[in-house]
Structure 1
């Protein structure tokens, strides 16, 4: 990577940990080889930024892929990165990039399962060519490939989602069967790094005792000043604009709130399938701004000017974490979240929760904070612990992945 003052290291490993990881190599004559089956993000674009000495400036936090590149560089390892997206152009040094296309949206269950099976086989074949010692597999890759990926290798799951919504324990016959299949396939895993405590509980319940599981903290790159917050006036939604994310319940709650508190303002940041409909719905409503998708610095500028972050995810969406609550905490901004949002376990006293799928529940939660400034100030103080955790580089995904590998 090109030396640059703009890149903030986010992976910290003791020397003995690096040495322990190196021993995972099955061939002492060659460096450790790691295959990373990445999620849907633009890992190639992030690599280009990383190689130039930058974090990905499109994203408000350190990306998983940038932390993977940093970890591999620290270990002196060789790595294969498998993605469905475009790979970087030019020399990539110790990294080998491979495109494996995901199956297109299929019509019918048979076509869907055939597409997933072919995709799983393509992933396994690509990994076999590289012949790694360790495979890091994202949870959105087909779990039907896990056993074949683990053959004579260490296999670590990086779980960026939950398998069912938090506090929802589906007991239908279909879900019981799905859990049994997942539990059977999870036997191939040697460990997991999970995006939230809820994700870790679900994975732990599937793999059983004896597997190493770690939960990292998202990492904010810059330390932002704390603005003096006195009362709730500026509300912010940050994330995908989808119906299942509760954006319309939030809009309904805001409309009702504004009749009593005309100074309130609501801003939506993000892109998604419901953006056009949301724009239509807000045309006649004052004090609502829709900014669309913003870059990292623009997002942090908006967070620095808000009083309360709203994360109203509905039950039907399996929220993995909702990192936006921790991005807000970096500015000392508290959150109000539905109970299916796992980030609330990170934020603890820095957020309030409400029942999902309910505009009335959102209205009640926000109204209490408007009316009770002491409660709001208590929430703001509650963000301070979480704020420090997002700057603790030993808790980053890359650092925790390194520690997990050293324990295998």
Structure 2
């Protein structure tokens, strides 16, 4: 018997893992409000003195580098479409085998390509504990599910039932879907709570309902499925009904940014809609301080896992307007107004209500306060949840608070 360091592998999304590592090592925060899950993974690995393999799916070139005790591999996603795309993703999951066999992780935390997790079946043969971490819904509750997606979900369900004991999920909705897929009493899911630093919101000014124009803030990807063109329709309706009384600030980047700017000019809405591009947390704090409400018009064809923009609205003491497409509405609804998915008129009417009804607006602002504490609780954070998963799996020793377990050489 001897001991060796714990080895943890992590399949991430399209993120620059080396940059995140350097920011973590330098003690820097992310450019956004929330805490990076990958940064928390690095922190946990440091606390456990674990060796790590991080595999990312950032578009561009394939690469491999070692920083400290962390090996970082980037494997760009396929650029094909249709059936070829699905086959290419499945092949790419099998192509991870050589790296995983060399590394032989004690646990493999899988986040990316969640509809194709079943292709990682072979990792079970390595004696690896597989811990899925789902950050999007497995299927769209308010949209149709194509036949090929139903097949992928069925395969994922078999994988969860026979190869996985526990998982993590970004919301209760996602956790419920995972349990429905697994159909197993022994399968356990714990919900991750996105965590924030209280200081980031200290500079946000209190809401002033009287001030005009009534400012609506959108912060997210500038894409059609995030509702950006619905937002333009909403702005157009309110501009026609109440000229000069509403302004929309759009923060974020995306493939439809130039198309949005063009549409704004074509409709003569330059005075009503401002496109501000990417905004870091300091810029967002100022914009939240000058806003009245946050809007999250995600459409039903997007796999929204939580909608952290709703969380950030609550932490800033601002009401939000969204639809049930965003699972945040279920847990934070006391601070927001819900409308039917894809309903432009519903969004417009909700914004009018908040602008005209001081009592309603004030009640939503007041309801933000009791909802905030959970997002400052380190015991709910990704790192704490993952640590509990590793404890429950026997990867780390609870009595030793994370000391390596004994393994056979």
**Aligned partner of 1:215 among 191, 202, 206:** 191
Q: Deviations over 1:223-276 (max 9, x none)?
A: 223633242711001101111111112221122223326232110001112111
Q: 1:112 to 1:88 in 2, by over 3 A?
A: closer
- Which residue of structure 2 aligns with residue 253 of structure 1? 234
**Post-superposition offset of 1:156:** 0.3
- Which residue of structure 1 aligns with residue 34 of structure 2? 61
Secondary structure, aligned partner of 2:290: coil
Q: 1:386 to 1:41 in 2, by over 3 A?
A: farther
Q: Is 1:337 aligned to 2:313, yes or no?
A: no
Report the TM-score, using the length of structure 1 for normalisation: 0.86
- Which residue of structure 1 aligns with residue 172 of structure 2? 197
- Which residue of structure 1 aligns with residue 397 of structure 2? none
Secondary structure, aligned partner of 1:218: coil
For the Cα contact (< 8 Å) 1:265–1:288, is it kept in 2?
A: yes
Q: Is 1:46 aligned to 2:24, yes or no?
A: no
Secondary structure, aligned partner of 2:95: helix
Cα distance in 2 for residues equivalent to 1:387 and 1:353? 19
Cα distance in 2 for residues equivalent to 1:237 and 1:245? 10
Q: Is 1:79 aligned to 2:57, yes or no?
A: no
Q: Is 1:244 aligned to 2:225, yes or no?
A: yes
Cα distance in 2 for residues equivalent to 1:261 and 1:374? 23
Cα distance in 2 for residues equivalent to 1:373 and 1:261? 20
For the Cα contact (< 8 Å) 1:146–1:189, is it kept in 2?
A: no
Report the TM-score, using the length of structure 2 for normalisation: 0.86
**Aligned partner of 2:129 among 146, 149, 154:** 154
For the Cα contact (< 8 Å) 2:206–2:317, is it kept in 1?
A: no
Q: Deviations over 1:56-100 (max 9, x none)?
A: 2x2221111101011111122221111234799987222222233
Q: Provide structure 2 residue ranges, at least 5 long, that are not aligned to the other structure.
A: 394-409
Q: Provide structure 1 residue ranges, at least 5 long, that are not aligned to the other structure.
A: 1-26
**Aligned partner of 2:207 among 203, 221, 229:** 229
Cα distance in 2 for residues equivalent to 1:358 and 1:299? 27
For the Cα contact (< 8 Å) 1:35–1:80, is it kept in 2?
A: yes
Secondary structure, aligned partner of 2:331: helix
Provide the aligned length of Structure 1 versus Structure 2: 378
Q: Is 1:316 aligned to 2:301, yes or no?
A: yes
Judge which range, 129-138 or 250-259, deviates more.
Answer: 250-259
Cα distance in 1 for residues equivalent to 2:64 and 2:148? 44
Cα distance in 2 for residues equivalent to 1:327 and 1:147? 37
For the Cα contact (< 8 Å) 2:118–2:155, is it kept in 1?
A: no
- Which residue of structure 2 aligns with residue 145 of structure 1? 119
Cα distance in 1 for residues equivalent to 2:321 and 2:312? 14
**Post-superposition offset of 1:174:** 4.8
Cα distance in 2 for residues equivalent to 1:73 and 1:371? 52
- Which residue of structure 2 aligns with residue 4 of structure 1? none
What do you get for the CA RMSD once the two structures are aligned?
2.2
- Which residue of structure 2 aligns with residue 36 of structure 1? 10
**Post-superposition offset of 1:44:** 1.8
Q: Is 1:350 aligned to 2:335, yes or no?
A: yes
- Which residue of structure 1 aligns with residue 259 of structure 2? 277
Cα distance in 2 for residues equivalent to 1:320 and 1:76? 31
Cα distance in 1 for residues equivalent to 2:67 and 2:145? 47
**Post-superposition offset of 1:130:** 0.5
Cα distance in 1 for residues equivalent to 2:46 and 2:130? 20
